[in-house]
Amino acid sequence: MIPFSRTVGWITTAVIATGLFIGLVIFRLSSDLPGWVTALATVGVVLVVGALAWSAQFWPAIEYRHASYRVDGDGLEIHRGVIWRVVLNVPRSRVQHTDVSQGPLERSYGLGTLIVYTAGTDHAQVMLRGLDRADALAIRDHLLPREADDAV
Amino acid sequence: MTPSDQRLHPLSILFDLGAQAKAFLVPALFVFFGAGSAGIGWEALGALMLIPYAGFVIARYFTFTYRYEAGELVIRSGLLVRNERHIPLARIQNIDAVQNVLHRLLGVVEVRLQTGGGSEPEATLRVLPLAALEDMRRQVFGQRVPAAAGAEGVEGADAPAQVAASVPHALLALPFREIVIYGLVHNRGALVIAAVLGVVWETGLFEGAAERVLGPARPGRAVLREMAATVFGGAGPVASRVVLGLLAFVALLVVIRLLSIAWAFVRLYGFRLSRVGEDLRTEYGLLTRVVATIPLRRIQTVTVRDGPLHRLFGRVSVRVTTAGGAEGTDGGVQREWLAPILPADRVPELLREVLPEVDLAGVAWQRVHPRAFGRELRVSLVVVALICAPVVAAAGWWALAVFAALAAWAALSAHRLVTRLAWATTDAVVCLRSGAWLRYVSFARFAKIQVVALHESPFDRRSGMARVRVDTAGAGDAYRVDIPYLALDTARTVHRELARQAATTAFKW
């Protein structure tokens, strides 16, 4: 999960950095504002890109430390969030249906995302990212109704 | 088409066309009033566009059929791409019937079916004859009335028994006085009208139309402008200008309230809430008559709301949320009104009907964390400071008096909020009492709880508190059970308890 998040982070950083850099170059060439404005803009861009790079490299590990989940007979409980923390509890009897999805990058890392659909409004979809694909499928099978007349 | 297939009423062609013409109405108005001398070109073009569309609508009438089959409503529609939709009767939550003046004259009704999820009606049948609506109600809801007669599916013999079992039992009727109070307390209609007037004024449509109708440059039209000029810029002693200004302001308020009452009257005329078997039925409307059905067991949350004006009259407003249909903005079917306005002492009686498992008097309210006041106050003061800072910077030090006044107001609000904030769990619902000036009491049934979330913001963590949020189907923003400022241990206990209750109660749509 961490290498995957890092890769995603770096790709995002690279894209944004390129955009900002090109913007900066255009800005330098086309405007005739005093030199200190351009210098300030350059410093700003450098800071932003630096922050993005730091978060791409170090944030996934921090996030991972605070993320966990538990599946039991009653349902699924997800802990996530570093600064704003959430504990989500989805009872088994409230699971409408589930998806296991894989983006292209997730596929190359062997990861999957479990999406649990409920009848709620805020949490109509509860997502659990960065699972091993086999684990995601196992949890999904576990959350499916056991008996034919389970609460629906 | 099999013998049991039914078509819509033939007049649906007319109403379908009418519904589409509404989309053309606003641009047509712009063209007619705005351009002035554009000639007849645009109008003719618009009319021409409707003709092929009419052909399309007629074809759609002939290809739309529905029938009842083996516990399902089967709707077939579509010209080129044939679509067959199966809606299990047990899944249909609400059948709403809308009739405007034209519908009533012609004896037809527009029916909207809602199933569980989504905010769009699952099926809109425009229009059905009245008998077909009764038939549909019997099909969908009649199966669930405990069949005293025993035999199923034979409508002729059973109908009298079922009707007897489901005689409407009136819970609430709003006479004219209550509607007036509602208009005084709520202000919505006036805002809409004011907004429309504003737009019309801005775009100069009004000028064009008024000139056409009234002739050029009538003196009366400039009254408002002259008054405004006199008050704000003109010569004359200050006192008389202030008085004039105040009078104008008061007159404006009165006009707005009158408009609001008029709007309420049109909207809520003949409001009746009754219980028919296991469902609640609300009927209201003067021009557009709406009959909405709310099955009792599909009520997710109930909220009792009152603001300062409500309290002035000793009234409250009761709303429910059901799954499916978030705000009912389409065609104005407000399924969520249970009692738009209700005397406060009738609330326990109404709640006994709607939430029979709750004993309002016996609810053990628990307060939140004692340090909640400090947090609430800090947040309010920061907000007040942010608002006042630019004012102080711009206008000078006397603005600090404004800051002091606002800060005092913020402190009062925080105190009221925290004194009122309380929560409780019974053996069937979780309740929350909240609000400083606009007060709420919300009830969410355990059987309807979907996801329970425990939130800790960084500020929560610093003071050892947390917030528990209960997610239900179809919950609007202000009507959910969202308990802030709980002590962390209490929050965890409540979170676990609610999750356990939700897990062990079956959820039925």
Q: Using a CB–CB cutoff of 8 Å, tell me whether A121 touches chain B.
A: yes
What stretches of B210-288 adopt beta strand conformation (E)? 272-276, 279-284
Kindly report the three-state secondary structure assignment for every residue of A40-80.
HHHHHHHHHHHHHHHHHHHHHHHHHHCCEEEECCCEEEEEE
Please identify among residues 19-78 of chain A the ones whose CB lies closer than 8 Å to any CB of chain B.
74-75, 77
Q: For B462, name the nearest residue in chain A, comparing CA atoms only.
A: A83
Burial B143-153 (b: 16+ CB within 10 A, else e): eebeeeeeeee
A121 → closest Cβ in B454, B471, B508: B471
Strand B337-343, strand B315-322: pairing: antiparallel
Q: Do A93 and B474 touch (CB under 8 A)?
A: no
Q: Does A93 touch chain B (CB under 8 A)?
A: yes
Q: Measured over all CA atoms, what is the biggest interatomic distance in chain A, rounded to whole angstroms?
A: 74
Contacts of B104-107 spanning 24+ positions with Cβ under 8 A:
B104/B289, B106/B11
Q: Provide the pLDDT for residue B226.
A: 59
Could B503 and A93 be called an inter-chain contact, meaning their C-beta atoms sit closer than 8 Å? yes
Count CA atoms within 13 Å of residue B90 on its CB side: 6
Strand, helix or coil at A107? helix
Cα distances from A82 to residues A38, A60, A68, A87, B91, in angstroms, run 36, 11, 12, 12, 41
How far apart are alpha carbons B181 and B341 in whole angstroms? 8
DSSP reduced 3-state for B322: strand
Q: What residues of chain A lie within 8 A of the CB of B509, using their CB?
A: 119
CB contact B351 to A (< 8 Å): no
Structure tokens at B259: 């408009």
- Alpha-carbon span B144 to B468, nearest angstrom: 36
Instruction: Tell me which chain B residues have a C-beta less than 8 angstroms from the C-beta of A75.
Output: 499, 503
Candidate from B456, B475, B506 with C-beta closest to A85:
B456
Tally of residues, chain A: 152
> Listing from the earlier edge strand, what are the strands of the sheet with B72-77?
B6-7, B65-69, B72-77, B83-88
Q: Quote the tokens at residue A31.
A: 């405007």
Q: Considering only CB atoms, which chain A residues are within 8 Å of B458?
A: 83-84
Any long-range contacts for B99-103 (C-beta under 8 Å, 24+ apart)? B99/B285, B99/B288, B99/B289, B99/B290, B99/B291, B100/B287, B100/B288, B100/B289, B101/B287, B101/B288, B102/B15, B102/B18, B103/B15, B103/B127, B103/B289
Residue B306 contacts residue B286 (beta carbons within 8 Å): no
Q: Tens digit of pLDDT per residue, chain B (509 long)?
A: 556 788 888 888 888 777 776 666 666 666 555 555 455 566 666 667 767 778 888 888 888 888 888 888 888 888 888 888 888 887 777 788 888 888 888 888 988 887 765 556 678 888 888 888 888 888 877 665 443 333 333 333 334 434 444 567 888 888 888 888 888 887 765 566 666 666 666 555 555 555 555 555 544 445 555 555 655 665 556 677 778 878 888 887 788 888 888 888 888 888 889 888 778 888 888 888 888 877 787 788 899 988 888 888 899 999 888 765 444 444 344 556 788 888 888 888 888 888 888 888 888 899 999 888 999 899 888 988 888 888 777 777 777 788 888 889 899 999 999 999 999 998 889 999 998 888 999 999 888 888 999 999 998 888 899 999 998 887 666 678 899 999 999 999 999 999 999 888 877 66
Q: What is the DSSP string of B23-82?
A: HHHHHHHIIIIIISSS-SHHHHHHHHHHHHHHHHHHHHHHH-EEEEETTEEEEEE-SSS-
In b/e form, how buried is each residue of B314-324, taking b as 16+ CB within 10 angstroms? ebbbbbbbbbb
Q: How far apart are CA B294 and CA B334, in angstroms?
A: 11
CA atoms of B147 and B149, how far apart (whole Å): 5
**Residue contact B458–A83, C-beta within 8 A:** yes
User: Quick one: how far is CA B262 from the chain centroid?
Assistant: 18
Q: Taking CB atoms and an 8 Å limit, are B499 and A119 in contact across chains?
A: no
Length of chain B: 509
DSSP classification of residue A99: E
Q: Give the three-state DSSP class for B318.
A: strand
Single-letter amino acid code for the residue at A70: R
Amino acid B24: pLDDT: 64
Q: Which residues does chain A have within 8 Å of residue B117's beta carbon, measured at their own beta carbons?
A: 119
User: Which amino acid, one-letter code, is at B62?
Assistant: F
HEC sequence for B441-486: EEEEEHHHEEEEEEEECHHHHHHCEEEEEEEECCCCHHHCCEEEEE
> Which stretches within B291-398 are classed as H helix?
308-313, 347-354, 372-395
Question: Best residue in B115, B300, B471 to probe A by mutation, most A CBs within 10 Å?
Answer: B471
- Any chain A CB within 8 A of the CB of B464? no
d(CA B500, CA A21): 53
Nearest to A122 among B117, B471, B502 (CB): B471
Tokens of A11: 């790709």
A69 min Cα distance to partner chain B (Å):
13
Mutate to test the interface with A, among B450, B480, B482 (most CBs of A within 10 A): B450
Using a CB-CB cut-off of 8 Å, the residues of chain A touching B500 are: 74
The rounded distance, in Å, linking the Cα atoms of B56 and B417 is 58
| Local structure of residue B361 (DSSP, 8 states) | G
Rounded to whole angstroms, how far apart are CA atoms B285 and B77? 31
Burial of B38 (0-12, 13-18, 19+ CB in 10 A): exposed
* Beta carbons of B418 and B368 less than 8 angstroms apart: yes
Q: How far off is chain A from B508, nearest CA to CA, in Å?
A: 6
What CA–CA distances, in Å, run from B246 to B102, B116, B328? 44, 52, 39
Q: A144 falls in which pLDDT band (50, 70, 90)?
A: confident
Spatial neighbors of A29 by CB under 8 A, at least 6 apart, are none
pLDDT tens per residue, range A67-118 = 999 998 888 999 999 999 999 999 988 888 888 888 888 888 889 899 998 8
Cβ-defined contact of B469 to A151 (cutoff 8 Å): no
Nearest to A129 by CA among A152, A99, A89, A84: A99
- How close A95 gets to chain B, by Cα (Å)? 9
Helix B238-268 to helix B176-185 angle, to the nearest 10 degrees? 130
| Per-residue confidence band for A150, with pLDDT thresholds at 50, 70 and 90 | very low
Closest residue, chain A, to B467 (C-alpha): A86
Q: CB-CB: which of B451, B458, B505 is closest to A123?
A: B451
Give, in degrees to the nearest 5, the angle at Cα B157 between B156 and B158: 95
For A93, the closest of B323, B480, B507 (CB atoms) is B507
Helix (H, G, I), strand (E, B) or coil at B429: strand
- The residue-averaged pLDDT of A43-65 equals 90
